[in-house]
Structure 1
Amino acid sequence: MALRTYTQLQHSSPKLTPSKGLAWEAGHLSTINHVPSLVDKCVQALVVADGSPMRKVDALFPRLPEELAQCLLAALVAHGKVTDDRLSAFLSISRRVIRLGGCGGIRKSVLRQIPFRCPQLTYLDLSNCIQVSNTVVRDILQGCTTLQQLRLDNCRHITDAAFQPDQSLFYPLRACLSLRVLSLAGCSQLTHSLVMYLLKAYRSLEELNFSRCKRITSESMKMLLTSSMHLRLRVLNLSFTDISDDALSTVSLSHLTDIDLGQCKITDAALISLVRHCP
């Protein structure tokens, strides 16, 4: 088992393979170390252009090849040029991956279109989108039935209720069954109730990030770490939380291979216990 004392959850986002000269790095478009390709230059020229060129791109977005559409969206995100209309133009039934980290200017009403227009989505990153609310999250979990990875880091308005599986019999959170990676770093309103919901309904989870979730208690983490019958967690990030030694006294997650405890209030005794239970 890898025991980490630094605070960086490894990304497990799907690897896209853009055109020659383009590369994905932390959800953004980057250039490989060689002469930029024609596609590189065209994308960058479009992104920095104003007026008519960008309006034409908005109209063509639905007809662009997936690879090019993803590269263009990444460049728009990096330059802070994703608008409500551009995101609406990007959304389509064929989309499987959407990265919108840091796009805090998009209205919630547009974000709520995602599950209706992209029902086959498997990866969604809304990290640092401070406008994201419980309603947005519940709509996504209800409508994106094949969602595997959801990143909501620093979405501070989210509460436990966003993930409550039995809140409505008529609108079940269908993504509960498919979700494998859930990142909630810095979501300060989350509490022990969320852990109960995850144990109850989110049985496919393999990676979980609770970094800087200060209201997640040692008691709830102890419950999580002794629930091998309910979860098959491989990666767990508890860095910068207030858990104590008691949370790590008994661990039964046999599949756990990577845990981050950076800046936690634990002693060497807890680490020894953890190593003993998770060889």
Structure 2
Amino acid sequence: MTQQIEHYGVISDNILPVIDIQNLPLKKGKLVTSDIRECSDDYICKLYLLLKNVGIRITESFLYGISGPNRKKIQVPFCNGVKASSFNYFFFNSPNLEIVDLSNCYQVNNRVIKCIISNCKKLRELNICGCRLVTDSAFNTEFFSPTGSCMTNLKTLNIQGCSQIIDLQSIIKRTRDLESLNISFCRNITISTFEDVIQCCINLKELDISSCDGINDNNYEFNYIANTNIEKISLSRSKLSSSTLKKIISSMENLQYLNLNYNVNVNDEVFYEISSKLMKLNTLCLRSCANISDKSFFYLGESLRELEHLDISWCPMLTSKTLKYLALRYSRNNVKKLKTLKLSQNTNLGNFFDSDDNFTDTINDYRKKIPRLYLNNQCESSSNDIDHTQTLNSTNSEQNNISESQENIFQDKILEECIVKLIQNANVKTKLVGGGLTPLSMCLIIKYNCETLVNLELEGLKNVTTSDVLEHIGVLCRNLKNLSISIFENDDLSIESFDKICRKCINISSLSLDVSNVESNYHHSSIINCISNGDSLLKLNELSIVINPKIGISDENLDSLSSCKFQLSKLRIKNFQGFSNDYFKKNNSKFIKLFSSVIEISLSGNDYSNDDDVILLLKLVKVPSSVELINFNNISVDLPKYIWENFQSIKQLSVFNDKTKVLLERFN
């Protein structure tokens, strides 16, 4: 059978080449090959994903063909083209399985789970994410051996989105060695069950309870205070109060990863608990935590010395003070440098507000901490020592006479003087008159972390991402792989600096660029040219551009992009206005290189392209998996149906305009 498969171009020394789909043994779009037992587990998994991506489904005979006692791993997510009974046959005949991934296989039910647990005694990892037919009874131990030995080897369990699972007692009593548990989006699991999990699963290291609405403290008080071994926890969109969050944090001193994204109850007090208790923390995600302020980063100081990944995007209360505190923090050599920094859409970072009244309560602590942390010996390694003693040598009588507002002004003055000294000492240059302490503080952060930064997100930061910041990224950040940034300025300096990013940051694989505020046609086109010129961005794999809707993307811009040397798998262009359908038809062959390798494509905003133009473009995309067309206002209501029926590789199709709203998803 191996030779037969080789004939189809599927197997060559266990390596997946380009498949000759025309010669595969297909029946009604399904692969009917029934005997490939000789293939390795990894090969079977890769083959399945490859076939799925080009719209080919497997059949029962495929499962029969790969079953057997030598099979140790099966990963078939979104496999909805076979019956549940076929899975039962497979698991009954594959008793040595250790890793099972049936995520989003909607036909998987309790019988399938019972069959797995009863027969696969060596099972270590089970992923049934999105299997909504599975209930608590699937894990009821009365169906298994009295000692529950069938589950004792289980290390990883993912039941994300299994909404009918309510009680985890049957699981946690028999899986004492469980190390990773994902129960996110199981909305009926309660906080008492959560408490039982961390008490009973003493070896648990990873826990995800994101979007578990039932885990709240409305009618229950969380009382667990003993330390746990948990190293990674996700609590995004949690309903827990700030007091309960502080208790949880206090019980998890071994945490290395903490995700609190979209938590309305995360405030400065919770952040203080984090910064004072979690000394091993490496990753902190606080995206869209609307109640944290600059005060949190005042608390941060030199705490969390192991922190390398920080996401504080979409936090509206943060101002330019946060940038200054971060610049002060990373001027020191006793904290790890950042690999990830996400600040996008913190629209107030470019502003500087007066300190709120809360800061007056800590002004004395501030006077003590800031000199110790940043001022007395700021540049120990520098020959030019910085002397701040004059700034701080106010007499006690003078300090006692300072009003609250004066204290705030005094605090701001200290902070600004610190930043000015750091700018001078770090030799941070500006091309702009005045420069501005806010963007130059950002420059300091970049300079201190330039050797380690891999992921940087700075979208929507007006008055922050100036040409100076672009210049520092382009000149210093050679290891950068993922960059999201907005350009606001209509000047040649910004273009020159962005060009340095494209030419010198040679490791960038993902670029998200917002130029919707660039109003000059010349500068707009110059930015597009920077992306596609010569040997720029050769490793680029994902590109997202938000264009000024008044300008759109022109034929010349598309020409420029089509000449690029990088190969994209994901392409997103917002505000596609200006695209000429006649030009695209006449120059269709030019765009083969740009579109041929794209798997996910999202285009929005076009009043000119008709059905034929869109179909012509999609035909350039060899195996599209996700297609999004937003506000293409000249297409017909019949186009989505045509695309769905004629492009079988598409798993997700979104078409939205005034005439039609279509969202389709293929699960097999």
Calculate the TM-score normalised by the size of structure 2: 0.33
Whether 2:171 is the aligned partner of 1:198: answer yes
Larger C-alpha radius of gyration, 1 or 2?
2
Give the drift of 1:48. Answer: 7.7
1:223 is aligned to 196
Distance 2:224 2:72 in 1: 39
Contiguous gaps of at least 5 residues in structure 2: 1-12, 254-668
1:113 is aligned to 89
Map Cα deviations across residues 57-97 of structure 1 (whole Å, 9 max, x no partner): 82541233454334323323433421111121112211111
2:447 is aligned to none
AA at the equivalent of 2:191: S
Deviates most, 55-64 or 71-80: 55-64
Selected match of 2:71 from 85, 95, 103:
95
Distance 1:56 1:156 in 2: 26
Give the drift of 1:102. Answer: 0.4
2:122 is aligned to 146
Give the drift of 1:152. Answer: 0.5
Distance 1:164 1:38 in 2: 40
AA at the equivalent of 2:155: R
2:216 is aligned to 244
1:69 is aligned to 44
2:563 is aligned to none
Distance 2:31 2:188 in 1: 47
Give the drift of 1:51. Answer: 4.1
Q: How does 1:260-279 map to 2 (within 5 A)?
A: 260-279=234-253
Q: How does 1:1-279 map to 2 (within 5 A)?
A: 39-42=15-18, 44-46=19-21, 49-51=24-26, 58-78=33-53, 79-167=55-143, 174-192=149-167, 195-227=168-200, 230-242=201-213, 243-245=215-217, 246=220, 248-252=222-226, 254-279=228-253
RMSD: 2.8
AA at the equivalent of 1:254: T
Alpha-carbon spacing, 1:134–1:55, altered in 2? closer, same or farther (3 Å): closer
Question: Alignment identity in percent?
Answer: 25
Contact kept, 8 Å, 1:108 with 1:136, in 2: the verdict is: yes
AA at the equivalent of 2:193: S
Alpha-carbon spacing, 1:74–1:239, altered in 2? closer, same or farther (3 Å): same
Contact kept, 8 Å, 2:14 with 2:43, in 1: the verdict is: no
Contact kept, 8 Å, 1:141 with 1:173, in 2: the verdict is: no
Count of residues paired in the alignment: 236
Contiguous gaps of at least 5 residues in structure 1: 1-36
Distance 1:264 1:40 in 2: 42
Distance 1:74 1:261 in 2: 30
Alpha-carbon spacing, 1:47–1:214, altered in 2? closer, same or farther (3 Å): farther
Map Cα deviations across residues 83-137 of structure 1 (whole Å, 9 max, x no partner): 1111211122111110111011211111001222211111101111111111110
1:25 is aligned to none
Alpha-carbon spacing, 1:63–1:167, altered in 2? closer, same or farther (3 Å): closer
Deviates most, 142-151 or 104-113: 104-113
Q: Which has the higher contact order (CA 8 A, sep 6+)?
A: 1
Calculate the TM-score normalised by the size of structure 1: 0.75
Alpha-carbon spacing, 1:184–1:66, altered in 2? closer, same or farther (3 Å): closer
Map Cα deviations across residues 189-208 of structure 1 (whole Å, 9 max, x no partner): 1112xx21123211121111
Contact kept, 8 Å, 1:208 with 1:237, in 2: the verdict is: yes
